[in-house]
Amino acid sequence: MGRGILGFGAYVPIGRLQRSAILAAHGWFAPGLKGQAKGEKAIGNWDEDSVTMAVEAARDALGERDRGDVASVVLASTTHPFADRQNAGIVKEALNLADATGALDVAGSQRAGTSSLIAALQSTAPGVTLHLAAERTTPRPASEREMQAGDAAAAMLVGEGDPVARLLGSHSVTVDFVDHFRGAGEAHDYDWEARWIRDEGFTRVMAPAIAEALKAFGVEGGAISRFLVPVAVKGVPEMLARRAGIPAEAVADTMAATIGHAGAAHATLMLAAALEDAKPGETILLASFGQGVDVLLFEVTDAIAAHRPRLGVSGWLARRMADDNYLKYLFHRGLLQLDRGMRAEHDQKQPLTALWRNRKAVMALVGGRCTRTGTIQFPKTEVSVNPNDHAIGTQEDYPLAEVPARILTFTADSLTYSPAPPSCYGNIEFEGGGRMMAEFTDVPASELEVGRELRMMFRVKAIDELRQFRRYFWKAAPAY
């Protein structure tokens, strides 16, 4: 017993952009990209952002766990969709957590994920901290970063109990080494020369920090079972392992060929992947880089045998759809302007008063259940929809986000505007009762069929481009 990581989870979007498609578009201008044009990278759909991905990672980690002991939510990201609206608070609402839940956004560095994880692990506050890290970047077209960057999220449950991994020690170094930066309000990062970053940053800043950490921990490099280095540059993890005396076989796959580099989320994403198949007694050394270095040493406990996330990194990686439509990727990132037609010319203004009054239904998909007849419905109303008993004032809250559903009817509408036409929607029925009209996501129109099993996913409903406000709601996606 003690404080540590009580559970973990992850989320990787279903889309996989083929790097060869990027080269095909830009090879004439940037032939140097050819050496990086292998494999694929994970890309969020148009209706995904760091908040929606964090929600999915949290659901993966929480599973069937009682959410009542979650005392706070932390969301680390350098791509929060809101600069002045608490992004972690949106996650809290989507997960239907109690209002007496703390929330904190952490940003400003690629180390945001590990620095905030250290703080959570060292905290003495009661209750469980739901630690999240998520990233959905907009790299400049034809850049090396565009080839490397991927979208993903990870979740760690931190608190007192029977942890699956204990923190044996942490060591941090902070230096204003600017390998890249992004100004406030800018869409793209500005990157410095890669060789200089490797020679000065990884070799002269990161390597000594790891050596200092091992010395402080009183651990020899040879005792490390798994070495996690969330660095996109090929060969750097192996070089750092050699310098620290860590066995080559301990160096973990960075998942560069299948996901890409998920920025501030990549360190905890690699940690989640390592914990999936870790054995009791193993030691995990995690070193993240970004204006300094965070080094964390974990010991895996016997409790790991009894814990598995719903899908985990491996499960989400298996849930994939290859995509070679580079123009669609640019459009969904806001980097390509298309004529969207007159049907897209309607005001997406969100009445904030209505959102507040209906926040449980909109944000957490909470419906109603009649306490007299057991009838389930969405949305919850004062009058029951039971045809034989229109009972008044008998409904209690009935969360539907985690309830399986199936398709009753569907339409693929090519007239209605959609960023990913056709617009697919239809009637769905929840297991145990309750129906609603829902949009479908992450499924081609050709694969829709009556009776198909579904799971609900928290997504962007629409974006008010005039006021830059994002509206969120739940959509139906194919079941795992």
Residue-wise pLDDT tens digits, 324-371: 999 999 999 999 999 988 888 888 899 999 999 999 999 999 999 999
Residues 6+ away with beta carbon under 8 Å from 87: 50, 51, 54, 75, 77, 80, 81, 105
Q: Which two tokens stand for residue 126?
A: 């009661």
Residue-wise pLDDT tens digits, 22-48: 999 999 999 999 999 999 999 999 999
Helix (H) or strand (E) holding 475, with range, is strand 469-478
Residues 6+ away with beta carbon under 8 Å from 298: 4, 5, 165, 166, 167, 168, 271, 283, 284, 285, 286
Helix (H) or strand (E) holding 156, with range, is strand 152-161
Q: What is the distance between the terminal CA atoms of the chain, rounded to a whole angstrom?
A: 33
Q: Which two tokens stand for residue 19?
A: 């790097």
Mean pLDDT, range 405-429, rounded to an integer: 96
**Whole-angstrom distance, CA of residue 345 vs CA of residue 337:** 14
**Given this model, what pLDDT does residue 344 score?**
84
Spell out a b/e string for 105-136, using b for 16 or more CB atoms within 10 Å of the CB, else e: bbeebbbbbbbbbbbbbeeeeebbbbbbbbbb
Nearest CA to 146 out of 19, 334, 273, 243 is that of: 19
Residues of the chain with CATH 3.40.47.10: 2-332
Q: Which residue has the tokens 């969100």?
A: 350
**Whole-angstrom distance, CA of residue 170 vs CA of residue 166:** 11
**Given this model, what pLDDT does residue 308 score?**
84
Mean pLDDT, range 263-267, rounded to an integer: 98
In this structure, the strands spanning 283-289 and 292-300 are antiparallel
Helix, strand or coil for residue 76?
strand
What DSSP assignment string belongs to 420-454?
SSSEEEEEEEETTS-EEEEEB-SS-GGG--TT-EE
Q: Is pLDDT of 204 > 80?
A: yes
CATH topology of domain 401-478: OB fold (Dihydrolipoamide Acetyltransferase, E2P) (2.40.50)
Q: Is pLDDT of 1 > 80?
A: no
Residues of the chain with CATH 2.40.50: 401-478
**Whole-angstrom distance, CA of residue 70 vs CA of residue 101:** 7
**Given this model, what pLDDT does residue 418 score?**
94
Residue-wise pLDDT tens digits, 50-62: 999 999 999 999 9
CB 167 within 8 A of CB 4: yes
The crossing angle, in degrees rounded to 10, of helices 266-276 and 112-122 is: 60
Nearest CA to 312 out of 71, 10, 93 is that of: 10
CA distances (Å), origin 118, targets 179, 251, 400: 23, 22, 34
**Whole-angstrom distance, CA of residue 246 vs CA of residue 207:** 12
What DSSP assignment string belongs to 338-388?
----GGG-S-----HHHHHHTHHHHHH-EEEEETTT--EESS--SB---TT
Backbone phi and psi for residue 184, each to the nearest 5 degrees, phi listed first: -60, 130
Helices vs. strands in the chain: H and E counts, helices first: 13, 23
**Whole-angstrom distance, CA of residue 402 vs CA of residue 405:** 9
**Given this model, what pLDDT does residue 480 score?**
82
CATH number of 2-332: 3.40.47.10
**Given this model, what pLDDT does residue 377 score?**
97
Q: What is the pTM of this model?
A: 0.96
**Whole-angstrom distance, CA of residue 188 vs CA of residue 185:** 9
Q: Is pLDDT of 109 > 90?
A: yes
**Whole-angstrom distance, CA of residue 115 vs CA of residue 119:** 6
CB 191 within 8 A of CB 144: yes
